[in-house]
Each structure stands twice: as C-alpha cells, then as structure tokens.
Amino acid sequence: MLEQHPADTTIIRRILLIGGGVCLVVAGVCLFLINTQPLKQASTPVDEDVQPQFQAEKLSAISNLGVMVNEVRPLQQTTRVVASGQHSAEFRGTHFIQENLNNYSLELFITSKEEIIQDFLDKRADRSKFIYLRLAAEHQPERYVLLYGNYAGEADAEQQLQQLNLALPKTIHPRTVQFKDYTDLVNDMGTEELSNQKLYSIELKPAVIPPPAIVPKVSSASVVAPVSHALQTTVTRHDREGNVVSVTRSAGLEASVPH
C-alpha cells in the first residue's frame, strides 16, 4: 500500500475548507435574494391595482346617497299639549285656529307673561270680543298674543282697526293678522275644548252604621253547676252465622250537661 504524505493531507483539508466556505456564502446570497425579491414584486400591485379597485367599489356603494331624503316624509306634530296653569275663558288653541284659518283679527300686543293679558281682560267689560293664544316656537321662549275680534275678510278687519278705541298705551300698535299665520306656533287645547270634556264624579251616599251589639252580663248567682253523666260503651261480637258470641261493656268519658 502507498502511504499518503502529511503535506498532501493538509492541502486537501484546506481545499475542502475553502470550498465549504464558498458554498456557504453562495447559499446565503441565494437565500437573501429569494426572500427579498417576492416582497418587491408584491408591493407594486398594492399601490397600483388594489387601491384603485377599492376606491371604485366605495364610490359605487354611495352612488344613490341622498335618495332617502326625497322618500322619507318629515315628522308631523300631531300631539297637542295642555299648557299648565289656570287659563281664562278667552284662551284658544289649535281647534279654533283650524276652524278660522281664512278669518282675520287684530293683534294688539305680545307678552311673555300670561298674567298681563289676564289682568287686562279683567278690566274689560267687552272681554267676549278678545281671545289670546300661546305661541311656542323652537329655540324661543313661549309668548302670549292678545287678539281682538274675528272677521271674515281683511277689509272688515282694517275698518275695525281704524275705529278701534281701547285706550291702549301709545307704544302699542295693533295690526291686522290672519289666523293661519299662527298655525305653526299654536299646539294647545283651548279652554272651550277642555270645558266640553265629560267629567266623572263619584257620588257618596250616607250609610246607616249599625249600633254595637250589647252583650248581657252574667252574674255569678245564675251559674248552675253542670251535671255529669257517665257514658258507657257496649261491644257485641257475632260469629259468621250471626249468633252473639260475647258482650263487653266499658265506662267511657263523662260529659257535663248544664241545666
């Protein structure tokens, strides 16, 4: 057999070591290229293709935005309220306004206190010609307006305005108005409606109270000692043929019977 020289063995080991290092470096470079190249290719379609498609779908979904505005009707205020407080007989609400939409009246003044109108009416002998309303507007405090007369035409109201003599302060300037101008501001029940409602009452009738029962007093002299009677029990036994076999008598309890 041929013996291998030690120098040759060292050279072979170095060559293998260098070759292994070169292979390791090449494998690392290939792995790096494989991991980085797909990310660069995948990032390009996201910016160019996917995002425009998403925007297109979003715009198509809201193309009919605003259609419901024409289909949904606005809320209508159909519930009437009963204003708190004690109103005078001249207080009117929506029922009166609906019946006199085309009629005219004279607006004397508007105030925020109902007591001012009530004090004014208390001093008038012709208060049957007056009416007043409560005006309730959104984002505004409630007000009360005093009106005079109910006229079928504007000309009649203007003529009455020229002849009006109510001794009002000079700062008050009455004007002609139509009842339908207060349609959106009045949502009350008038005094005439409340007075027509049926009232239910409970009629209480006096009832006779029976006198208390009188219990007679029992004196000690009228108490009689009870008499005791002994009770006996008799047991008779029969056989199958009905013949008497035995008769047993025993004393029972004693019962007290008063006389």
User: pLDDT band for position 127 (50/70/90)?
Assistant: very high
- Give domain 94-196's CATH superfamily: Sporulation related repeat (3.30.70.1070)
Six token digits for residue 20: 């292994």
Start-end of H helices in the chain: 6-45, 51-61, 67-71, 94-99, 114-122, 154-163, 191-196
44-48, 157-161, 185-189: lowest mean pLDDT where? 44-48
For residue 158, name the pLDDT band (cuts at 50, 70, 90): very high
Prediction pTM value: 0.46
Q: What is the pLDDT of residue 103?
A: 96
Structure tokens at 194: 């409340």
Phi, psi of 15 (to 5 degrees): -65, -45
Domain ranges of the chain: 12-43, 94-196
Predicted confidence at residue 82, as pLDDT, reads 54
- Confidence band, pLDDT 50/70/90 cuts, at residue 248: confident
Between 117 and 253, name the one with better pLDDT: 117
Q: Could you tell me if residue 139 is left (phi over 0), alpha (psi between -120 and 50 degrees) or otherwise beta? A: left
Is the pLDDT at 105 greater than 90? The verdict is yes
Question: Mean pLDDT in the chain?
Answer: 75
| pLDDT tens-digit map of 221-243 | 554 555 555 566 777 777 777 77
Name the more confident of 247 and 29. 29
- Provide the pLDDT confidence category of residue 1 given band limits of 50, 70 and 90: very low
Q: 30-35: long-range contacts at Cβ-Cβ below 8 A with a sequence spacing of 24 or more?
A: none
Q: Give the pairing of strands 175-178 and 130-135.
A: unpaired
Tokens of 50: 């996917």
| Lookup result for tokens 């206190």 | 113
Amino acid at residue number 100: N
Q: What pLDDT score was predicted for residue 151?
A: 96
Q: What is the pLDDT of residue 185?
A: 92
Token duo for residue 70: 């024409």
- Non-local CB neighbours of 233 within 8 Å, separated by 6+ positions: 249, 250, 251, 252
